[in-house]
Amino acid sequence: MLSSYATDSAALKAGKVTPADLVRMKGRGEKIAMVTAYDAPSGRLADRAGVDCVLVGDSAAMTVFGRDATTSVTMEEMVLLTRAARAGVSRALLVADMPFGSFQVSDVAAVEHAIRFVKEAGADAVKLEGAGTSTRRIAAIVGAGVPAVGHLGLTPQSATLLGGFKAQARTAEQAERICQDAVALEDAGCCAIVLEAIPEPVARRISRAARVPTIGIGAGAVCDGQVLVWHDLLGLSEGHVARFVKRYAALGNEIVSVLQQYVSDVRASRFPDASHTYKMPESELELFETTSDDSHPLA
């Protein structure tokens, strides 16, 4: 399966990151940086910053739509967000998250939905949570020609089943099972595996054994790459954030402060000033001003 990612493509020649590049980066010991993005401006900024992979995560349910779980986000919503991100991302590998319900029912449904992401939204790859059935779905999707990323550990779509949003694989038995799941996902043909909220020793074992890169979120620095959610990284999310989040900025506060300046300028008539205002030729202005207000059609 790995060999299907090992050939140079036209996209690679154009400088675009491909699934094969991720595998090569792992081989060279180069860390992979992934971030979520849900629209064109953020996709463009991620690209400019040199991010390798942009994930249109189903975390959009919370970050974009303000809901409290990922399960409600629909294919229509995810396709729309992925198409928007595509408009901004030209270099990074664009991965669309398959929402809950889009791949659980059958291989056929999973393949159809993965193809929709490629055809309608321009995704380069899709991501699926879980092992077991998801492993078969990944094999079917990759078999249909769509690169797929796996996701093990804390898989938020199954949070209720897992007993909440908590770290996974903390017993030797669970740790062993997740290592086996990773092998199965790799054998099914996935091009990378996201490892979420698992102990570092477990992530280390998987990362050493797997030929494809592991992308960690709460799985330690031993992973081949890292992923963070846009709003968490930039300080745009409010309230409690998970232990594994590093906030690199407090842009939420910055935005509020800038908006407060705008509100204050509008209220004090400081905005707009002459530099934001259109002029008309002097002669036209004179003509206009000789017209009495009473003759104006709106009078």
Least Å from the CB of residue 68 to ligand KIV: 14
Least Å from the CB of residue 37 to ligand KIV: 10
**List 21, 39, 47, 58, residue binding ligand KIV (CB under 6 A):** 58
Tell me how far apart the alpha carbons of residues 236 and 259 are, in angstroms, rounded to a whole number: 14
Q: For ligand KIV, which residue has the nearest CB?
A: 57
Least Å from the CB of residue 24 to ligand KIV: 22
Q: Is 97 in the site for ligand KIV (CB under 6 A)?
A: yes
CA distances from 43 to 56, 66, 155, 200, 224 (A): 9, 20, 24, 30, 22
* φ, ψ for residue 36, nearest 5 deg: -85, 155
Examine residue 147 and say whether the peptide bond preceding it is cis (omega within 30 degrees of 0).
Answer: no
Q: Which residues, other chains included, contact 182 with Cβ-Cβ below 8 Å and sequence gap of 6+?
A: 150, 152, 193, 195, 206, 209, 210, 214
Q: Is 139 in the site for ligand KIV (CB under 6 A)?
A: no
Least Å from the CB of residue 67 to ligand KIV: 13
Q: Which of residues 1-30 bind ligand KIV (CB under 6 A)?
A: none
Element (H, E) at 54: strand 53-56
Q: Is 214 in the site for ligand KIV (CB under 6 A)?
A: no
The letter for the amino acid at 155 is T
Say what angle helices 172-188 and 200-209 make with each other, to 10 degrees.
30
Q: Is 36 in the site for ligand KIV (CB under 6 A)?
A: yes
| Catalytic residue of the set 176, 196, 282, 286 | 196
Q: Is 229 in the site for ligand KIV (CB under 6 A)?
A: yes
Binding-site size for ligand KIV (CB under 6 A) equals 11
Asked if 196 is an active-site residue, the reply is: yes
Q: Is 194 in the site for ligand KIV (CB under 6 A)?
A: yes
The letter for the amino acid at 133 is T
Which sequence positions are flagged as catalytic? Answer: 196
**Interface ranges with ligand KIV (CB under 6 A):** 36, 55, 57-59, 97, 194, 196, 217, 227, 229
